[in-house]
Structure 1
């Protein structure tokens, strides 16, 4: 079993490694942007990958890995995310995605984006009930993914829909619009691409992120990036114990 552990940035990867070994270092060269290296974690062979920020970088990175490494059996995406609701997902809490949403796919209309408006689904595959079309949402099964990847479920874990965007939501107005239309709990910039790649490859995908900020707010009191990174390392360690 070879597990890919992805983060968008080296800062997030260092936080994960601090959680693993308290040093933030690894026995191989630290993965540079778009690259990966091997690291055993509690006797599990892992590939550490820093994808770069955004859905395009994530897609390019995971595509390269899956093309080069035929031994990959699953992907674990770790990082920080924004919360659409601090009562449901407070700062520094950990959330696993039970679905991934891409709100930027489809036909732009006066009422918003119609994901089926261009008539071409992102992906079609055969499910238990027949042909399944993927438009702007991928359903995930985090508990099943944990079992398949032989990972532990961390304590005090929340679940919710995660939204992948190309540009971070910078206003309260846009945040409200996204909530009304999609009902997401968190916002990230890579998850949908990684989930789609795993769906295409037929391997399990698990996404766990800690909350660094309130979506749509630039107020300092709504940001705790350093604390969220520390929490990320702690939760990453819990997955492997």
Structure 2
């Protein structure tokens, strides 16, 4: 096993604290870097230059696509996708690949994904979308679900963390707990307590990662 710890990056301190209480600080370092893909990329890049890490995991709460991920459950990204990186057109959304400006899809490290799935066997694997503006209407939910049939959740940081990890040559993965369904915004229906409980339950499993 590498002598270096794994870096777990969250958006906000509440997510970080849900992990810290059950993690071995010699094996896992948890830091909150801010909300959104830009803050996530910048914060993760800064942390990855401060000391060596053997891997980085973007973690926290997320919205789950109905029928694909349950509220209070966990999902593990096989890919992190910048779903709104591209351009509008009369014919529909054009991803950045079609514009010739790079890729909106970053693969999670398969070895790290397998280790997470072995440690958390009830977690659902699939694509996790990164959006700077989270979904709040049924129409947008339907468009995203159609464009990304393997998407299980959406959040705001994974792709940014993945970009920083790729730039540093460090394996990347994304782990999310589902607090609400993707769709029309209804904050009263969010089950944040269940999502944070799922993060706390998942945390000890991270200590076992190779």
Please name the residue that 1:120 is paired with.
101
Please name the residue that 2:16 is paired with.
13
| CA distance in structure 1 between the partners assigned to 2:37 and 2:73 by the alignment | 23
Give the drift of 1:230. 1.1
Please name the residue that 1:172 is paired with.
138
Larger mean CA deviation between 92-101 and 213-222 belongs to 213-222
Offset from partner CA, 1:79-124 (integer Å, 9 cap, x none) = 0110112x32110001100011112222321221232343221xxx
| Total equivalences in the alignment | 203
Bigger CA radius of gyration: 1
TM-score by length of 1: 0.77
Q: Is the CA contact 1:77–1:191 (under 8 Å) kept in the aligned structure 2?
A: yes
4+ residue runs of structure 1 moved beyond 6 angstroms?
Answer: none
TM-score by length of 2: 0.87
| CA distance in structure 1 between the partners assigned to 2:193 and 2:114 by the alignment | 30
| CA distance in structure 2 between the partners assigned to 1:169 and 1:5 by the alignment | 25
- How does 1:44-123 map onto structure 2 within 5 Å? 44=27, 46-69=28-51, 71-85=52-66, 87-110=67-90, 111-121=92-102
Q: Secondary structure at the match of 2:141?
A: helix
Q: Is the CA contact 2:20–2:30 (under 8 Å) kept in the aligned structure 1?
A: no
- Asked if residue 223 in structure 1 is aligned to residue 190 in structure 2, the reply is yes
| CA distance in structure 2 between the partners assigned to 1:191 and 1:114 by the alignment | 17
Q: Is the CA contact 2:108–2:171 (under 8 Å) kept in the aligned structure 1?
A: no
Q: Secondary structure at the match of 1:72?
A: coil
Give the drift of 1:146. 5.4
Offset from partner CA, 1:197-237 (integer Å, 9 cap, x none) = 22222211121111000011333674211111011111111
Aligned CA distance change for structure 1 residues 98 and 176 (closer, same or farther; 3 Å): same
Point out where structure 1 has 5 or more consecutive residues left out of the alignment: 22-39, 122-134
| CA distance in structure 2 between the partners assigned to 1:165 and 1:187 by the alignment | 7
Offset from partner CA, 1:9-47 (integer Å, 9 cap, x none) = 0111111124x07xxxxxxxxxxxxxxxxxx53x42x33
Please name the residue that 1:34 is paired with.
none
Larger strand fraction of residues: 1
Q: Secondary structure at the match of 2:119?
A: coil
Which structure would you say has the larger RCO, counting Cα contacts within 8 Å and 6 or more residues apart?
2
Q: Is the CA contact 1:53–1:189 (under 8 Å) kept in the aligned structure 2?
A: yes
Q: Is the CA contact 1:152–1:240 (under 8 Å) kept in the aligned structure 2?
A: no
